Each structure stands twice: as structure tokens, then as C-alpha cells.
Amino acid sequence: MATVYLDGNFLDDSEAKVSIHDRGFLFGDAVYEVVPVYRGNPFRLARHLDRLRESLAAVAIDCPLGDGEWATIIARLLAEAHGHEYSVYIQVTRGVGVGRDATRTQGLRPTVLVSISPVSIDRTLLASGIRAALLEDIRWHHCRIKATALLGNVLLRREALQRGAAEALLIRDGELTEGSSSNVFAVLDGVLRTAPPDERILRGITREVIIELACACGIDVREQAVSAAQLASVQELFICSSVREVVPVIQIDANAVGDARPGPVTRRIMQEFAALKARFKGDS
Ligand code: PMP
């Protein structure tokens, strides 16, 4: 049992109900945000709210709440939570429509759901690294929008799991763009490379943090995708996201990445991320 916020009310999740006419349910006409919480405080909340506004603007849904209101709702949900590491989930749909008429959107009031859930990161995976599967990106062309319509991502992740891998790395136009639920960094010829922030990727907040950290410690970072052909020469590779943080990838399909161990750049970024997190939590 957990408390959630739904359209102005704080309710037990078993009592929170959304209409079958809600456009989020019918058409996936909705966007979302996921914010990590460390020791009770949302990390980079302002940036997550910026991205939420960008996603909403891109699909022409008015942002229903101001930054202060989002922060108050989140604080209230977290005040009732026990434990330290959570993620906050925000979902905004275009609202409850008129039957299945996709075109009638005038005057709808967005449906707003905010919930929290505990996160536990598998630290053994972080130390050893994961296997990934390389798959052609089957998603739509506006991956910059954090849309709840995640069918493509779900199918790709399923395919990866069926192949014994923990993440799908996606190829579009012959280039490595992102993971099915993560951004990707690769070390090639001593340069840390990640795909540029265009429509083919979600502009991950963790990606942004990693670029900052890498620049601050003198690592040469370039927002330039690695091609599928270059993958065989990549020395290191890792994925990142708000809920998984930084995870080394040591094998892609049957091929080892580098010497199949988390490499020095990856380990440095993991250390820097852990230090940033510790500072945020007030541990150091
Ligand atoms: N790309 C995709 C497709 C994702 O689903 C996610 C996770 N939401 C990310 C990248 C990483 O974004 P963030 O660091 O903001 O969690």
C-alpha cells in the first residue's frame, strides 16, 4: 500500500482510479518523468521538471502545475515513505476524452499522477558489468519526447532479455543511439563518445550529469555517435539512467567489449557519480 497523488487528491494506490476514456490509456497520449530520490531528496529535480515541460510542450499539453506545486506534492509523498532510495514517477495525460474520438481534444483537463517507488540497484552487476544485445531501433522518430507510449521500448527490452542480455543497444541510421531505457557512452580511441541530443534519443538527465563529471575531470567527451562498424573497436561502453545510474557493458551479443571488464574510464565515471551522490546526500 502506498500513497499516490491523482488529480488533486492523495489516495491509497488501491483506490486511485483512472477513467477508461482517459487518452493516456486509450492512445498513449501522455508523457512522464522519473526522478531519482537520494536520502529523501529528489536529485536534479529542476532539470527533470524542465524536461517534463519540454515533453508537454512538444505534444501540446499545457503544463498543469508549477515547479513549486510539483515539489510540494513530491515532498508530501516522500514524507510518508520509509527508506532512502526512491524514484518519483510523474505522468500527465491529455485528459479524459470523448469515447474513442481521437480528434476531440478541446477543453480537456490533463490527468496528473505522481507516485513513488523504492529503487534497489544490483551492486554486483555494477562491479561485473552486463551483457547487451544490439538491435535495430523500431521506435518512432520523436524519442526526445518522454512519451508513455513505450511499446517499442518494451518489445526491444523483451527481445534483449530473451537473448540473455540485460539491455538492448539501439542502432538507427547505422549508428548507436541509446538503450531501450538508458543512454549509452562508449570509449573509442581515448575519447568518451555519446550520441548527440537529437530526436533519436531521450536527453537523459544522467547523461547530462556524466558529461559534466567527465569534463570536470579532464576526460575528452564528444557528442558524436559511434557507428555500428566502429563498435568492434570500442574499448569501453556503459549505459546510464536515473534508476540504474552507471552500468558497465562488457559484452554486446557474442562480442566482448574491450577485455570484458569495466574499463578505467567507466570506473572513474562510476566513482565520480558515487562521489556526487554522496555530496548530494550530505555524506561528504
Ligand atoms: N533513454 C531512454 C529511452 C530512457 O527510457 C531513459 C530512462 N528514462 C534514458 C534514456 C535515461 O534518462 P534519465 O537519465 O533521465 O533517466
pLDDT digits over 21-45, tens only? Answer: 999 999 999 999 999 999 999 999 9
Closest atom of ligand 1 relative to the 178 alpha carbon? 1
Q: What is the pLDDT of residue 102?
A: 84
Instruction: Check pLDDT > 90 for residue 101.
Output: no
Cα-flanking dihedrals φ and ψ of residue 180, to 5°? -70, -20
Distance 90 CA to ligand 1 centre (A): 14
Lowest mean pLDDT among 93-97, 118-122, 221-225: 118-122
Instruction: Check pLDDT > 90 for residue 85.
Output: no
Is residue 208 within 8 Å of 194, Cβ to Cβ?
Answer: no
Instruction: Check pLDDT > 80 for residue 80.
Output: no
Non-local (6+) Cβ contacts of 79 within 8 A are none
Atom 3 in ligand 1: which residue has the minimum CA distance? 181
Q: What is the pLDDT of residue 283?
A: 87
Instruction: Check pLDDT > 80 for residue 84.
Output: no
User: Residue 103's pLDDT band (boundaries 50, 70, 90)?
Assistant: confident
Catalytic site residue 277?
no
6-23 burial by CB neighbour count: b if 16+ within 10 A, else e?
A: beeeeeeeeebeeeeebb
Mean pLDDT of 207-223: 98
Distance 246 CA to ligand 1 centre (A): 12
- % of the chain with per-residue pLDDT over 70: 99
Q: What is the pLDDT of residue 99?
A: 81
Non-local (6+) Cβ contacts of 198 within 8 A are 144
Mean pLDDT of 95-123: 91
User: Residue 98's pLDDT band (boundaries 50, 70, 90)?
Assistant: confident
Contact 110 CB / ligand 1 (< 6 Å): no
Contact 119 CB / ligand 1 (< 6 Å): no
Mean pLDDT taken over the chain = 96
Q: Which of 277, 7, 255, 251 is nearest to 131 (CA)?
A: 251
Mean pLDDT of 223-239: 98
Instruction: Check pLDDT > 80 for residue 81.
Output: no
Distance 93 CA to ligand 1 centre (A): 19
3-state SS record for the chain = CCEEEECCEEEECCCCCCCCCEHHHHHCCEEEEEEEEECCEECCHHHHHHHHHHHHHHCCCCCCCCHHHHHHHHHHHHHCCCCCCEEEEEEEECCECCCCCCCCCCCCCCEEEEEEEECCCCHHHHHHCEEEEEEECCCCCCCCCCECCCHHHHHHHHHHHHCCCCEEEEEECCEEEEECCCEEEEEECCEEEECCCCCCCCCCHHHHHHHHHHHHCCCCEECCCCECHHHHHCCEEEEEECCCEEEEEEEECCEECCCCCCCHHHHHHHHHHHHHHHHHHCCC
Q: What is the pLDDT of residue 124?
A: 83
Is residue 34 within 8 Å of 243, Cβ to Cβ?
Answer: yes
Q: Which of 158, 144, 24, 19 is nearest to 89 (CA)?
A: 24
Select, from the ranges 80-84, 115-119, 192-196, the one with the highest average predicted confidence (pLDDT): 192-196
Cα-flanking dihedrals φ and ψ of residue 269, to 5°? -65, -40
Distance 200 CA to ligand 1 centre (A): 12
* Top mutation candidate among 87, 202, 212 for ligand 1, by most atoms within 8 Å of CB: 202
pLDDT tens for 42-67 read 999 999 999 999 999 999 999 999 99
Distance CA 223, CA 168 (A): 20
Distance CA 187, CA 212 (A): 16
Mean pLDDT of 251-258: 98
Contact 52 CB / ligand 1 (< 6 Å): no
- % of the chain with per-residue pLDDT over 90: 89
Q: What is the pLDDT of residue 120?
A: 83
Contact 241 CB / ligand 1 (< 6 Å): yes
Q: What is the pLDDT of residue 181?
A: 97
* Top mutation candidate among 146, 206, 241, 245 for ligand 1, by most atoms within 8 Å of CB: 241
Q: What is the pLDDT of residue 232?
A: 96
Distance 226 CA to ligand 1 centre (A): 19
* Top mutation candidate among 140, 182, 242 for ligand 1, by most atoms within 8 Å of CB: 182
Instruction: Check pLDDT > 80 for residue 260.
Output: yes
Contact 137 CB / ligand 1 (< 6 Å): no
